[in-house]
Amino acid sequence: MDQYRLINRTQPYPHESLWGFLMRCARANHYRDHQEILQYALDASSTNPQVEQTEIPRLATYTRNSVHELDQLSGYSRQVARKGRDWKILGEWLSKSTFLKLRHAPICPQCLQEQPFLRGVWHLAFNTACWKHSCRLIDRCPQCKRQLALARRHPEYCECGFDLRKSVTTPAEAEQLLIARIMANHSDGPLNLDSECIPANQVENLARLSLDGLCHSLWFLGHHLLGNFSLSQGSGLRKLDAGETREMIAAACWLLSDWPTRLDEALSKQIAVNSKWSGDNATMRLLGPIQRYYESHIGSSDFRFISSPYETFVRQLVKQAGIKTRPSRLDSPQLELDLS
């Protein structure tokens, strides 16, 4: 239905959530909700709310905006050959839905008081605080206690009618604020990234990563090396609740606050607690999930500040175990074990 357009044009905000933008379009044009816009503009199914990158031009025409204005919004996706799907957030592509809030997203009440639109950075799962107002983001309505669905009608209201701008906020921990500032730096920077949580050089290392790389680093450090999650889960990614996400951020920052000393402490503790090991089979049982995730996502030169100490530790571990050949699960181009 490209020949039809909305009557009233809604101006997108820089790095706004696509879904929040569509909420505002629906309200300005007296539509029931944003799904109705997608049905008219894209013939979209109500059971598949995703917007593909290839559909942005049609949606731009229907909403009376340019492709450039809608292309910078956060929350649409693309198909990637042999990889699956990527999602665009703050102008960058993220590779795992685990790193994103795609059906429910938290809000900052004070941000909504200033301007009632959904920020794209709120789609990021590891973004648990508002860098601007130093408070925790709110992911449930204070009145009805339900998660804040991206399918609701208005950015500043819950479906129960509660005005989210009136929500009481809680101060955020320093670790949450640091990660929130690093993420927001990709869209609102340059920001002041000074922190007492971790040394300045480690802050710089994290800030140099892409958003996707930052999320993979936090998952590797917080989940695989120091998280209170079973190693038997392997490298599989799963959705975390808000408490688990804050715990993972705190664990990653704790490691980086005295890196690589705390890497040795963390892996040594895993060995002592989880394994009565001797020889290569038990070593593979212990390090297999960690190593698989490392090889898939952490082995490139962008992560050298993580990979160099990690590889050093594994070399020492293999020597101590008395392994004379490389176990297949530890064999990788990034990990050349010196067993001589």
Position 283: which residue type? T
> Does the pLDDT of residue 231 top 90, yes or no?
no
More confident residue, 224 or 284: 224
Q: Which residue has the higher pLDDT, 265 or 257?
A: 257
The reply to whether 147 and 222 lie within a common domain is no
In this structure, are 123 and 250 located in the same domain? no
Q: Are residues 54 and 158 in the same domain?
A: yes
3-state helix, strand, coil in the chain (%, to 5): 50, 10, 40
* Residue finishing a domain among 166, 190, 223: 166
Residues 84 and 130 in one domain: yes
pLDDT at 15: 95
Whether 209 and 326 map to the same domain: the answer is yes
- Whether 162 maps to a domain, the answer reads yes
Q: Are residues 88 and 228 in the same domain?
A: no
Asked whether residue 143 falls in the same domain as residue 274, the answer is no
Domain membership of residue 196 (yes or no) is: no
Taking residues 23-34, report their average pLDDT. Answer: 94
Q: Are residues 109 and 213 in the same domain?
A: no
Considering the domain architecture, whether residues 227 and 158 belong to the same structural domain is answered as no
Interval 259-314: pLDDT, tens: 999 988 887 776 665 554 444 454 445 566 777 888 889 978 899 999 999 888 87
Residues 277 and 141 grouped into a single domain: no
Within a domain: residue 260? Answer: yes
pLDDT for 332: 46
Q: How many domains does the chain have?
A: 2
Res 90 pLDDT > 80: yes
pLDDT at residue 83 in the model: 79
Q: How far apart are CA 75 and CA 280, in angstroms?
A: 44
Does some domain include residue 10? no
Residues 92-142: pLDDT tens digits? 999 999 999 999 999 999 999 999 999 999 999 999 999 999 999 999 999
Mean pLDDT of the chain: 86
Q: Which residues touch 23 (CB under 8 Å, ≥6 apart)?
A: 33, 34, 118, 152, 153, 154, 155
Host domain of residue 82 = 18-166
Q: Is residue 54 part of a domain?
A: yes
- 56 and 158 assigned to the same domain: yes
Q: Is the pLDDT of residue 328 over 50?
A: no
Q: Do 219 and 158 sit in the same domain of this protein?
A: no
70 located within any domain: yes
Strand ranges, E, within the chain? 77-80, 84-89, 92-94, 129-130, 135-136
Residue 11 lies in a domain: no
Instruction: Identify whether 280 is part of a domain.
Output: yes
Task: Return the pLDDT at 44.
Answer: 73
pTM, full prediction: 0.87
Lowest mean pLDDT among 81-85, 115-119, 198-202: 81-85
Which tens digit of pLDDT belongs to each residue from 42-75? 987 655 668 999 999 999 999 999 999 999 999 9
Answer yes or no: is pLDDT of 239 > 80.
Answer: no
